[in-house]
Amino acid sequence: MASSQELLGLIEGCKSQRPSSQRALYTRFSGQLFATAIRHTNAREDAEDVLQESFVKIFKHISSYREDFSFEGWMRRIVVNTAITHYRRNLKHSHHHDIDEVHATPGDLENKNDNEFTASELELAISKLPLGYRTVFCMYVIEGYKHQEIADKLGVDVNTSKSQLSRARKYLQNVLATLSSRAKSIPSMGLDQEVDTP
C-alpha cells in the first residue's frame, strides 16, 4: 500500500491534469472502484460504463476534493452516484424483481451465528439480489449512507429504504447461512434458482 504522501502526490498530479498521475490513480484504485460499480449494476458492461464515467468525473472534479475526507470514500461516492444515475436512466428498460420471489430456506435464524462464508460467496449472493434491494443494501451497509440519503438519491420513501434493507439483509443472512451449513455437502446449491425463480 502506498503511503499517504504518495497518494497526495497523485492527487496533486491529477489536479494538474497530468496524464501520468491519472494513469497511476486509475491503476491503483480501478479494481476497488470496479467492484463497487459491479455491486450497483446488473451487468459487467454496465459496470464498465459506470467505472469509466466515474473516472471522468473524478479527474474533472478532483480539484474540489478536500483532504479532510477519505479519498477512497470520495471516489466511491462518485461511483455510487454514477451507478445510481445509470440505474435510474435504465430503469424503464429493466425488469423489476421483487425479493419476495426468493425462496428462503428455513432455519435462517438458527444459522445466524454460523457466518462462515467467503467474500466471493458474499459477492455472489449480493449479485443475486434485485438491483433495487442490492443498491439499498450496498449503500447502507458498505458505503455508509443513511436512509434519508438513500431515499433522496433513489427518489423513494425513507420507509421503503428501510424495508428494502431489512428484506435484503434477511435474504442474504438466509442464503449465506444455508451456504455455510450446506456448501460443503451440496456445493452446487444454486443461488440462481433461489433468487431468480419468479
Partner 1 sequence: MKQTSHDREARDAAFDEQVRSMLSEAAVPAPAASETLFAPVATKAGLWGKLGLAAIGGLFLWGAFELAGDNPSAPSVLTPIPASISASPSAVTGPSGPAMEEGMESSERPDKDGMPDQNAAFEAGGEGGDIAPSTAKPNLAAEPTAVLGSEAISASGSESTTVAAEATEKAALSTSDPVSGAEEGPRADAVSPSPDPAAIKAEPASLPEEPKAPSATQDEQQDANQPTLTLPLTLPSGGGH
Name the residues that contact partner 1, by CB under 8 A: 17-19, 22-23, 26, 30-35, 38-39, 48, 51-52, 55-56, 59-60, 109-110, 112, 115, 119, 122-123, 126, 140-142, 169, 172-173
Judged by beta carbon, residue 12 or residue 91, the one nearer partner 1 is: 12
Nearest to 62 by CA among 25, 32, 33: 25
CA 155, 160, 162, 166 torsion-angle sign:
negative
CB of 53 to partner 1, least distance (A): 10
CB of 63 to partner 1, least distance (A): 10
Judged by beta carbon, residue 34 or residue 92, the one nearer partner 1 is: 34
Grouping H, G, I as helix, E, B as strand and the rest as coil, residue 184 is coil
CB of 10 to partner 1, least distance (A): 13
Nearest to 176 by CA among 127, 117, 119, 136: 117
CB of 92 to partner 1, least distance (A): 27
Q: 81 CB contacts (<8 Å, ≥6 apart)?
A: 153
